[in-house]
Amino acid sequence: MNYEIVHELPGRIRLRCYRGFGFTKDEAGVIESLLEVQDGVRDVSASHVTGSILVLYDPGSSAGGQNGQNRQKILAAASMIDRGYLDGESLPARYREPGIVSGACALFARSAFNRLLPMAVRVVISAARYLPFLLRGLKSLVTGKLDVSVLDASAIGASIILGDIGTASTIMTLLAFGELLESWTKERSKRKLAEGLALSCDTLWVERGGAQIEIPASDLVIGDEVVVRAGAVIPVDGEVTRGDAAVNQSIMTGEPLPIHRYPGTSVYAGTLIEEGEILVRVTAFDRDTRVSRIAEMIDDSVALRANIQGRAEKLADAVVPYSFLLSGAVFLVTGSLRKAVSALLVDYSCAIKLSTPLAILSAMREGARLGVVAKGGRILEKIAEADTVVFDKTGTLSVASPSVALVLPFNGWTREQVLRTSACLEEHFPHSIARAVVRKAEDENLKHREKHAEVEYAVAHGIVSRIGKSRAIIGSEHFVIEDEKIPLSPKDAALIEALPPNQSLLYLAVGGRLAGVLCIEDPLREEAVEVVTKLRLEGVWRIAMITGDNERSASHAASSLGLDYYRSSMLPERKTEYVKKLRASGAKVIMVGDGINDSPALGASDVGIAMKESADIARETSDVVITKGDLRSVLTARRLSTAVMRRIYDNYVFIVVINSALLVLGLGGVISPAMSALLHNASTIGASVRSLMPLLEESDLE
């Protein structure tokens, strides 16, 4: 198998197959089974969607160094897997994604059939089924662990020694069903998440030898020229070689307005052609495109376990020694091996260890369906713990579709000159305010032939250029008036002060004098007030806004929404500092943003949430990606997170109460060991099934 190492940490290595060695979902299971048998390997996860293979292993004495023996064996084994071997290898049953109903029916049908067999045959079958449990238990003991595997092996073994084959069979059947349930949920959750976000395309139109032909996507190669027409999603990353089109790149850049793409410009997979037709020379496709990184994120997210999940597993293993102590004490007091086995059969660990990860995975799957994609279980836990939410304004609290409401000229300039010059400067920069200015000029049929020199753009500041011999600048009040020291007369200041407070102001200065002010109307989202109000009811006691917008606009927005705090004219570094100060004061902070200038703050918060229209870098930096264009999804994320944490704690209470009751009944001789085992495992399955139930009802989404 041809591969490259794309990421490595001690005990963790990710491989990605080169082009030409893709594998199917079934073959992914074969690869997993072949690598899992290597020395020191703890877990293998192969993704046919991204072509990657994640291996978790014991780094050994080399602590994961480049010369670690286990690492070398893993890489050697991966190199030996070839296409011929994969095609000839059958998929191990435990790696086939089971249908939960058919799998459960088959499992319990075999168990029922075994009970009809002669006792001697049942003993042999039970011994054979017991062997894997015994080996897992012995492996734990050899490594110095007294965990659930040891407890399971002891309980089943004791039942067989006592001749209670029915109890032993029941325990093994129920444990097998628990594994089936966990495996099915994990794989189904991962698949649903990936399918909901990954780009798929079966056939493509390409131009070869001057003719346009349709080919299977699997036949595409780098350098091919793909034909994409209006209404179609671009299936590859590449460079436009012919034609021109209006391309909606919101999935990548966050800009809601279409971008003009023409020969020499780049386009990305997953973006949509609204008008026109282009020929695209392929530079990347399939799992190498930007959009496929989302599917890669899903693969990684399963490894990002919630702290509560880790604590649950530790708690589960920590309970095991006490189960053995109790069983031993019962035997010493009563002299009854059967009662001692009853104590051994009832433990708290199985249900705790199984139900918690199932609840987390189920919540992640439900979140993806509702438009909230969390990059790992621990993110859900942090959202539930948060007491502070900080919003960006433009594109987050506002609709991200601004328009020019008013153009105010100064110092001898006309309104048309101000708008034409502003559009001429802004047309080179694809952000929402620039698009609004250019669109306004086009709507008024104002031609803006370029007269300026090369332009310079400073993120969150503005634009600097030259028109003839005069220096031209356009940007925020902070940039133009304060930084660039453009004079503002009392009369001009009064006119500007009288402008509507809900509008953002864009200042144009040429030759050291103010030429005009453009009033940008960017209304708040209709649902913004509702979201702020309901977040308070959900336990968030501090809600703030940080924005690069001017003081007047920021103040008006904060007042309209009833926010606790706001900061205006904030540069990216100041946004980050603000979030860090909040965290340093003890606050648990959720930051919600959408732009490039929000990315550092998103990364500095406890949880960064990127809106659907977010810039690519904001989506990469964030912990949660909103896939629906509605601010209510932030509220959904909060409710989903608190609901899954509440369910986990409710499961703890249920498990402790039920199993304690069974323990008392078993020790009192009220129920037999077989009934004790049956009820214990039934409670485990009950807690697990409950973990899979939907967390939010329709009323929770209103």
Burial of 38 (0-12, 13-18, 19+ CB in 10 A): middle
Q: Quick check: is 674 in a domain? A: no
Q: Quick check: is 336 in a domain? A: no
Are residues 284 and 214 part of one domain?
Answer: yes
Burial of 655 (0-12, 13-18, 19+ CB in 10 A): buried
Mean pLDDT of 204-229: 84
**Does 295 have pLDDT greater than 50?**
no
Q: Are strands 542-546 and 388-391 parallel, antiparallel or unpaired?
A: parallel
**Does 268 have pLDDT greater than 90?**
no
Q: Quick check: is 85 in a domain? A: yes
Helix or strand holding residue 142 (H, E): helix 119-142
pLDDT digits (tens, 9 = 90+) for 2-24: 777 877 777 888 887 765 556 77
Instruction: Report the range of poorest mean pLDDT among 40-49, 184-193, 481-490, 606-615.
Output: 184-193
Q: Quick check: is 119 in a domain? A: no
Mean pLDDT of 50-78: 70
Are residues 483 and 549 part of one domain?
Answer: no
Higher pLDDT, residue 664 or 341: 664
Strand partners of residue 543: 389
Are residues 558 and 529 part of one domain?
Answer: yes
**CA angle in degrees (0–180, nearest 5) for 690-694-700:** 130
Strand partners of residue 325: none
**Does 452 have pLDDT greater than 60?**
no
CATH number at residue 452: 3.40.1110.10
Percent of the chain with pLDDT over 90: 18
| Residue 527, pLDDT score | 92
Are residues 534 and 393 part of one domain?
Answer: yes
pLDDT digits (tens, 9 = 90+) for 516-542: 999 988 788 889 999 999 999 989 999
Number of structural domains, the chain? 4
Q: Are strands 259-261 and 236-248 parallel, antiparallel or unpaired?
A: antiparallel
**Does 201 have pLDDT greater than 60?**
no
Are residues 528 and 395 part of one domain?
Answer: yes
| Residue 406, pLDDT score | 93
Sheet with strand 372-374: strands edge to edge: 372-374, 624-626, 607-610, 589-593, 388-391, 542-546, 565-567
pLDDT bracket for residue 346 (50, 70, 90): low
Compute the half-sphere exposure of residue 467: CA atoms within 13 Å on the CB side of its CA.
Answer: 21
Where is the domain boundary, 256, 273, 290?
A: 290
Q: Quick check: is 64 in a domain? A: yes
Are residues 427 and 511 part of one domain?
Answer: yes
Instruction: Give me the domain span that covers residue 274.
Output: 203-290
Mean residue pLDDT across the chain: 78
Cα–Cα distance measured from residue 2 to residue 20, given in angstroms and rounded to the nearest whole number? 8
Percent of the chain with pLDDT over 70: 76
CB atoms within 10 A of CB 138: 13
Cα–Cα distance measured from residue 425 to residue 21, given in angstroms and rounded to the nearest whole number? 48
CATH number at residue 281: 2.70.150.10
Are residues 532 and 564 part of one domain?
Answer: yes
Where is the domain boundary, 72, 95, 118?
A: 95
Q: Quick check: is 407 in a domain? A: yes
Are residues 40 and 13 part of one domain?
Answer: yes
Q: What is the DSSP letter of 51?
A: T
Strand segments (E) across 522-563? 542-546
Instruction: Report the range of poorest mean pLDDT among 129-143, 228-242, 307-321.
Output: 307-321
| Residue 536, pLDDT score | 93
For residue 539, CA distances in Å to 534, 606, 643 come to 9, 16, 13
**Does 292 have pLDDT greater than 80?**
no
| Residue 297, pLDDT score | 45
pLDDT bracket for residue 584 (50, 70, 90): very high
Nearby residues of 325 by Cβ (< 8 Å), 6 or more positions away: none
Q: What is the DSSP letter of 696?
A: -
Tokens of 372: 């909230």
Are residues 503 and 541 part of one domain?
Answer: no
Q: What is the 3-state secondary structure (H, E, C) of 567-630?
A: ECCCCHHHHHHHHHHHHHCCCCEEEEECCHHHHHHHHHCCEEEECCCCCHHHHHHCCEEECCCC
| Residue 315, pLDDT score | 67
| Residue 307, pLDDT score | 61
pLDDT bracket for residue 92 (50, 70, 90): very low
Q: Quick check: is 52 in a domain? A: yes
pLDDT digits (tens, 9 = 90+) for 355-395: 777 788 788 878 878 888 887 777 888 999 999 999 998 77
Q: Quick check: is 551 in a domain? A: yes
Nearby residues of 299 by Cβ (< 8 Å), 6 or more positions away: 45, 47, 49, 50, 52, 54, 190, 194
pLDDT digits (tens, 9 = 90+) for 405-441: 999 999 999 999 999 999 888 876 656 677 789 889 9
| Residue 69, pLDDT score | 75
Q: Which residue has the tokens 């009950």?
A: 686
Tokens of 38: 């290597």
Instruction: Report the range of poorest mean pLDDT among 278-287, 471-480, 550-559.
Output: 278-287
Question: Nearest 5°: phi and psi at 394?
Answer: -65, 120
Tokens of 382: 């942090």
In the three-class reduction of DSSP (H, G, I as helix; E, B as strand; rest coil), residue 472 is classed as strand
CATH number at residue 81: 3.30.70.100
Where is the domain boundary, 51, 71, 95?
A: 95
In the three-class reduction of DSSP (H, G, I as helix; E, B as strand; rest coil), residue 542 is classed as strand
Q: Which of 237, 392, 616, 623 is catalytic?
A: 392
pLDDT bracket for residue 216 (50, 70, 90): confident
Are residues 553 and 411 part of one domain?
Answer: no
Are residues 77 and 10 part of one domain?
Answer: yes
Cα–Cα distance measured from residue 433 to residue 461, given in angstroms and rounded to the nearest whole number? 13
For residue 487, CA distances in Å to 112, 425, 467, 494, 498 come to 90, 21, 19, 14, 18
In the three-class reduction of DSSP (H, G, I as helix; E, B as strand; rest coil), residue 327 is classed as helix
Higher pLDDT, residue 40 or 182: 40
| Residue 589, pLDDT score | 95
CB atoms within 10 A of CB 398: 24
Are residues 512 and 556 part of one domain?
Answer: no
Cα–Cα distance measured from residue 92 to residue 107, given in angstroms and rounded to the nearest whole number? 16
| Residue 562, pLDDT score | 92
Per mean pLDDT, which of 156-165, 247-256, 628-637 is the most reliable? 628-637
Cα–Cα distance measured from residue 497 to residue 475, given in angstroms and rounded to the nearest whole number? 17
Mean pLDDT of 496-509: 87
| Residue 253, pLDDT score | 45
Strand segments (E) across 441-588? 456-458, 462-467, 470-475, 503-510, 513-521, 542-546, 565-567
The reply to whether 392 belongs to the active site is yes
For residue 449, CA distances in Å to 420, 421, 422, 467 come to 9, 9, 12, 12
CATH number at residue 572: 3.40.50.1000
